[in-house]
Amino acid sequence: MMADKEVVRFKINDTEVEAEKGMMLLPVALEYGFEIPHLCYHEALSPGGMCGLCVVEVTKEGRTRVAMSCKYPVEEGIKVATDTEKIRQVRKRAWEVLLARASRSEVIRSMAQAAGVKETTLEKRDDDCILCGLCERVCREIVGANALTITRKGDRREVVPNPEACIACGACVYICPTDCIKMEEKGDERTIVRWNRTLKMQKCKSCGRPFAPIFQLNWIIDKANLSKDFYELCPICRKSS
């Protein structure tokens, strides 16, 4: 299974596991069926370590520490515990932080309650964004549009959009864990509501249906050096042509 790759062996909750050297703990644990809550992790993106939920206890050479499993690389001989009293307390605090960050989010309230956390004593933001950073990372690392930036103002983070760079592809909408980024299509226009970005849609030369933002298609044509008429047809008509 891992031929020609360096493999490390270690324990998760007293179960022997193995993984390719360089992998992070979280995806390995999930692959083996261990439940670790997480909201800012996606296998296609670099680890964020923003939500604070994926904490585990790692024992190495007799010393135990709390670590974020999404950013902790696997090591030979370590022992990982995913559900200790200390971890439950750290996660409880993380849920309280998320409830304060996204006080309007039904998704977060529901998930927090399922974890036994119903309220927070922290100052609440009137928002439904948990500042997980997934939208910024997918826009930068996968799409390449770089239309979003995570900035700090004092001890507070926020997602700052650059609407003129947004191609309205919807990747941020798809990946948002709290559904706080909405996309609307009306007639021949698509709007990414949170970023206040509205773009005209290209209409299919054959069927006449709008199928993608013109700005997005021109951006792809320039990036991929395609012919200007490459996107004259929608995907459905292209298949049948």
Tell me what pLDDT residue 16 has. Answer: 98
Phi, psi of 200 (to 5 degrees): -70, 145
Tell me what pLDDT residue 168 has. Answer: 98
**Contact present, 32 and 12 (Cβ < 8 Å):** yes
* All CATH 3.10.20.740 domain ranges in the chain, comma separated: 7-114
The widest CA-to-CA distance across the chain, in whole angstroms, is: 68
Tell me what pLDDT residue 1 has. Answer: 46
Rounded distance, CA 55 to CA 37, Å?
9
Q: Is the dihedral of CA 135, 140, 142, 144 positive or negative?
A: positive
Phi, psi of 45 (to 5 degrees): -120, 160
Tell me what pLDDT residue 154 has. Answer: 64
Tally of CB atoms within 10 A around 131: 22
CATH 3.10.20.740 fits 7-114, yes or no: yes
Instruction: Name the 3-class secondary structure at 172.
Output: helix
Per residue of the chain (241 residues), what is the pLDDT tens digit? 455 789 999 999 999 999 999 999 999 999 999 999 999 999 999 999 999 999 999 999 999 999 999 999 999 999 999 999 999 999 999 999 999 999 999 999 999 999 999 999 999 999 999 999 999 999 999 999 999 999 987 668 899 999 999 999 999 999 999 999 999 999 999 999 999 999 999 999 999 999 999 999 999 999 999 998 999 999 999 998 7
Rounded distance, CA 101 to CA 141, Å?
25
Rounded distance, CA 241 to CA 228, Å?
18
Structure tokens at 105: 């989010």
Tell me what pLDDT residue 155 has. Answer: 67
